[in-house]
Amino acid sequence: MTGSTSDPSIGRACALRLAQEGASIVVNGRSAEAVAETEKALMNDGHNVVGVVGSADDDDAPARLVDAAVSNFGRIDHLVNTVGGSPFIGPPLELDRDGLLAAVALNIWPGVALIQEAMRHGLADGGGSVVNISSGTVHKTTPSMVSYKAAKSALDAVTKTFARDLGPMGVRVNGVAPGLTRTSARAIWDYGEAEAKVSVLRSVTEADDIAGAVVYLLSDDARQVTGVIIDVDGGNHLLGGGTSPYAAK
Q: What is the pLDDT of residue 186?
A: 57
| Catalytic site includes residue 246 | no
**Predicted model pTM:** 0.91
CATH class of 10-235: alpha beta
Q: How do the domains of the chain map onto residue ranges?
A: 10-235
Q: What is the pLDDT of residue 191?
A: 67
3-state secondary structure of 175: strand
Q: What is the pLDDT of residue 153?
A: 97
Give the 3-state secondary structure percentages of the chain, helix then strand then coil, rounded to 5. Answer: 50, 15, 35
Angstrom distance (rounded) from CA 7 to CA 190: 17
Pairing of β 172-178 and β 181-182 = unpaired
Distance of CA 148 to the CA centre of its chain: 14
44 phi/psi in degrees, rounded to 5: -65, -25
Tell me the mean pLDDT per 10 residues along the chain, length 249.
76 94 94 93 95 92 96 96 91 96 96 97 94 94 94 98 97 95 67 75 90 97 98 88 46
Catalytic residue among 148, 191, 216, 246: 148
